[in-house]
Amino acid sequence: MPKALIVIDMQNDFCPGGALAVSGGNEILHPINALMDEVDAVILTQDWHPADHSSFARNHPGAEPFSMTEMPYGPQVLWPAHCVIGSEGAAFHSALNIDRADLVIRKGFRSEIDSYSAFFENDHKTPTGLAGYLRERDLLDLTFVGLAHDFCVAWSAIDAAGLGFTASVAEAATRAIDLDDSLAKARKDMRDAGVTLR
């Protein structure tokens, strides 16, 4: 079965020095580049938010970053502004081997809704189009890596398993934000969904 490596959000803002830095995020660049040699296709996701995005705490008067709010589609963490369309923070880290990618899929570009998963926006309904692309290419065995383990990597891998793909996460090539024990919860949710953690 042809294999794809799905590299989640390896952008400057999620690496040390960035607006929503994930601790150790830069340590996984070389492991990710090395995993590219083991697959038939590489797909990159790129978090891509307009400046007025509803997931940014600054767009909710009085709200602190990392607090929770209720959106029409469910609960939502309010983040520091990050990955603003066209900014240096939204660019891929310069050490990532982007030349190997067949497809770059952008997500979170609608102001009113966030999109952690590479497959669906946070309403769990609006598709990004990635599932159709992978199925048409017969890329049904997916390995997820990148940032962050407990948010966009976990949500993507869980959706992949739910859509019928074979899904695994290469844990040496991901790092977590770990907000309120979110990593332990995400690992349990992934296992329960049928995702292999390796």
Q: Which does 9 bind (CB under 5 to 8 A by kind): Zn ion, ligand VGL, none?
A: ligand VGL
Which residue is closest to Zn ion by CB? 47
* Smallest distance, ligand VGL to C-beta of residue 175, A: 10
Residue number with CB closer to ligand VGL (24 or 164): 24
In angstroms, the CA 9 to CA 31 distance is: 15
> Which pair of structure tokens corresponds to residue 15?
């690496």
Residue number with CB closer to ligand VGL (79 or 165): 79
Residue number with CB closer to Zn ion (47 or 121): 47
* Smallest distance, Zn ion to C-beta of residue 13, A: 8
47 binds Zn ion (CB under 5 A): yes
> Which pair of structure tokens corresponds to residue 107?
């997500």
In angstroms, the CA 182 to CA 14 distance is: 17
Q: Name the CA dihedral angle for 164, 10, 19, 185, rounded to a multiple of 10 degrees.
A: 40
Query: In which residue are the tokens 């603003």 written?
Result: 84
Query: Which residues of this protein are in contact with ligand VGL, per CB under 6 A?
Result: 9, 14, 47, 79, 116, 147-148, 151-152
Active site residues: 9, 107, 152
Selected range binding Zn ion among 64-72, 85-93, 106-114, 159-167, rule: CB under 5 A: 106-114
Which uninterrupted H or E stretch holds 106? strand 103-107
Residue number with CB closer to Zn ion (22 or 142): 22
Contacts of 14 (CB under 8 A, 6+ apart): 20, 21, 22, 25, 47, 82, 83, 147, 148
Query: Do residues 178 and 150 touch, judged by C-beta distance below 8 A?
Result: yes
β-bridge pairing 74-77 and 68-71: antiparallel
* Smallest distance, ligand VGL to C-beta of residue 66, A: 10
* Smallest distance, ligand VGL to C-beta of residue 131, A: 19
Q: Which does 148 bind (CB under 5 to 8 A by kind): ligand VGL, Zn ion, none?
A: ligand VGL
Residues in contact with Zn ion by CB under 5 A are 47, 108
